Amino acid sequence: MKAAVAGFAVASAACLATAGASACQPLPSSAYGESLTKVKSRFDGARFVVLAELTRVEEVMVPAGDGDFRIEVERATFRVQQAFKGELAKGAAFHVDSGVTACGRGVRHGQWVSFSPGKPTRPRAAPPERWLIYYTPWPAVPGQREPIFEIDDSTNSQPAQWAAYDLEMLGKHAKGWRTAGR
């Protein structure tokens, strides 16, 4: 009986790990294509949309759910350079804690390392300084102080140098989209 219970526990853990890992897989390449429709969809789904400068990155301990349990996360502090949507104005500061979930990558993650075909990749000395952020938090769950938003494998947060098309379209259309949304 103990062997059966142990086997079930191992199998359950493997299934949960697999489900968690597949939920955090990068989006398909089609999600990153340049399309005004995709930019508008991300804009519509976001609480705020900003071009922001990364001003500080630190590791901090934060509460995780109910009780005394705490986890270490990467806290990235940003200063708004340009606001396309939302209540944040130019110069406002906000932070993003990444690492709360298994999907969080943070601004220091290796996926932001620049590379050239045929040349070895090297870790970046510092994370990218400018970011386009479509602040789109997950719905809050009971016991959670606020909704979770992380720098992750998505088009909701990316270095500005990867977001040239989005920035161009936001510059041309965001004012009209805000007016139409009222």
Every domain of the chain and the residues it spans: 29-180
Are 159 and 54 contacting, i.e. CB atoms less than 8 angstroms apart? no
Cα–chain center distance at 178: 23
pLDDT at 57: 92
Write the CA distances from 113 to 46, 96, 120, integer angstroms. 26, 20, 11
Per-residue pLDDT of the chain (182 residues; tens, 9 = 90+): 444 434 433 333 333 333 344 456 666 666 667 899 999 999 999 999 999 999 999 999 988 777 788 888 889 999 999 999 999 999 999 999 888 777 778 888 777 655 555 555 555 557 889 999 999 887 665 665 666 788 887 778 899 998 999 999 999 999 999 877 65
Record the pTM.
0.74
Are 168 and 88 contacting, i.e. CB atoms less than 8 angstroms apart? no
What's 29-180's CATH class? mainly beta
Residue in this structure with the two tokens 């429709």, named with its chain if needed: 37
Contacts of 60 (CB under 8 A, 6+ apart): 72, 73, 75, 97
Question: Quick check: helix, strand or coil at residue 149?
Answer: coil
Contacts of 113 (CB under 8 A, 6+ apart): 121, 122, 123, 124
- Burial of 32-55, coded b for 16+ CB within 10 Å and e otherwise, reads eeeeeebbeebbeebebbbbbebe
Q: Are strands 130-135 and 93-98 parallel, antiparallel or unpaired?
A: unpaired
Contacts of 35 (CB under 8 A, 6+ apart): none
pLDDT at 132: 96
The DSSP annotation for 9-37 comes to HHHHHHHHHHHHHHHTSPPPGGGGS--HH
pLDDT at 32: 67
Spatial CA neighbour of 94 closest among 135, 128, 46:
135
Residue in this structure with the two tokens 């976001």, named with its chain if needed: 46
